[in-house]
Amino acid sequence: MALNPEMASAAPVPPRTYVRSAAATRARFLRQKVVPWLFIAPILLVHFIVVIVPSVQSFYYSMTDWSGIGAAEWVGFENFQQMIFDDSSYRSALFNNVKWLLVFLTVPFAMALVAAQLLAPVRKGAMWFRTLLFIPYVLPSVINANIWRNLMSPRLGLGAQVAQWGENTLGTDQLAVFGTAFLGKTETALMSIAFVDNWHFWGFLMVLFLTAMQGISQDLYDAAKIDGANRLNEFIHVTIPGILPTLAFMMMLVAIWSFLVFDYVWILTQGGPANSSEVLGSYLYKQVFNRFEAGYASAIGLSMSMFAGIIIGIFALLRRRGWEI
């Protein structure tokens, strides 16, 4: 026993004692079982209180008519019934999230794939392109949103300048359509917000794809060249399979985020005009802080988490089916 160096240093047990004393056992238990958890306990406690406790409470409150203050009365599944069958605002917000999902599963992915593919063979200045295209991702949403609010202004923005140029230089009002208030029209508000969010996001995706592409063996490209593949063939048959794990994982994350979006919507339109850009996040916010429907808002939050869970489930299923993602 004395040969065990851990024991020797753990407790002042005199060597050559062949009976394990109670004190030594306790010291050993403390050292091997308790101390490691003392290191973990503080962050676990903070995370548990901030994330897990209210997550569990959320299930309870979603079944009540709680206003945020005072007592909550149990109403069973009434909130969910109302949400699914009677609340057209909820439905149209959800529909906007689905539109958002479709846009974000296509536009940024297409842009990022093309740019990464173009950047992969570049040596000179590659670092600069990577850094510059990444910049909007590190800037605060409030600033990105305000830059584009100005650029989309019907009075002084980019479109307004185009319209003015058409009128003054070309003598046509055909271009006047560009001078529209993109964020102030029900037809264009949601897509304009998506445009701004994507402007800030796609470069991040591009860098992830670029990193994944650099992990593909050059031999595969050489082999494709020998087989007479052009750039497009290479892209489809070598690049895409090579980055598939990254591609699929990011599609899953982007799909999840599409149900949780809030920042850019709230900053640019607060869901307006006439709720045309309302998403579940902004709808939930209004339910809590404008209408004091904390119970109902909990139910909405639960439904949003469920959508995110469904996305994770779909990907887990595809994986089990043998998709290499």
Partner 1 sequence: MFGSRRADSLVPNYVILLLLVVFTIGPLVVLVSNAFKSPQELIANPLGLPMRPTLANFPEAWRVGEFATTIGNSVFLVVTTVFVELVLTGLAAYSLARLNPPGQNGFMGYMLVGSTLPIWLFLVPLFYMWSKMGLTNTLYGLAILYVAFNAPFATFLLRAFMVQIPRDFEDAARVDGANEVSVFTRVILPLTWPGFLTVGLVVGLGVWNEFQTALIFTSNPKLFPVALSYYKFTSRFGRDWSLTSAAAFMMIAPVLILFLAMQRRFIAGLSQGGIKG
Residues 71-110 that bind partner 1 (CB under 8 A): none
Nearest distance from C-beta of residue 128 to partner 1, angstroms: 8
Nearest distance from C-beta of residue 19 to partner 1, angstroms: 26
Q: Is the dihedral of CA 16, 18, 19, 22 positive or negative?
A: positive
**Which CB, 123 or 320, lies closer to partner 1?**
123
Q: Is residue 2 near partner 1 by the rule CB under 8 A?
A: no
How many angstroms separate the Cα of 5 from the Cα of each of 8, 9, 20, 171? 5, 6, 15, 91
> End-to-end distance of the chain based on CA atoms, in angstroms?
50
* Residue 74 dihedral angles phi and psi, to the nearest 5°: -65, 130
Q: Is residue 289 near partner 1 by the rule CB under 8 A?
A: yes
Q: Is residue 313 near partner 1 by the rule CB under 8 A?
A: no
Q: Is residue 149 near partner 1 by the rule CB under 8 A?
A: yes
Question: Could you give the CA distance from residue 22 to residue 102 in angstroms, rounded to a whole number?
Answer: 65
**Which CB, 17 or 32, lies closer to partner 1?**
32
Q: Which of 11, 288, 318, 325 binds partner 1 (CB under 8 A)?
A: 288
**Which CB, 19 or 54, lies closer to partner 1?**
54
Question: Could you give the CA distance from residue 114 to residue 183 in angstroms, rounded to a whole number?
Answer: 28
Q: Is residue 57 near partner 1 by the rule CB under 8 A?
A: yes
Residues 214-233 interacting with partner 1 (rule: CB under 8 A): 225, 230-231
Binding mask 111-130 for partner 1 (x = CB under 8 A): x--xx--xx-xx------xx
Residues 173-192 interacting with partner 1 (rule: CB under 8 A): none
Q: Pull the structure tokens for residue 138.
A: 């590190």
Please list, residue by residue across 116-155, b when 16 or more beta carbons sit within 10 angstroms of its beta carbon and e when fewer do.
Answer: bbebbeeeeeeeebbeebeebeeeebeebbeebbebbbbe
Question: Could you give the CA distance from residue 104 to residue 278 in angstroms, rounded to a whole number?
Answer: 17
**Which CB, 18 or 143, lies closer to partner 1?**
143
Contact of 178 with 159, CB cutoff 8 Å:
yes
Using the contact rule CB under 8 A, the part of the chain among 81-89, 131-139, 168-176, 183-191 near partner 1 is 131-139
Q: Is residue 301 near partner 1 by the rule CB under 8 A?
A: yes
Q: Which of 194, 285, 286, 315 binds partner 1 (CB under 8 A)?
A: 285
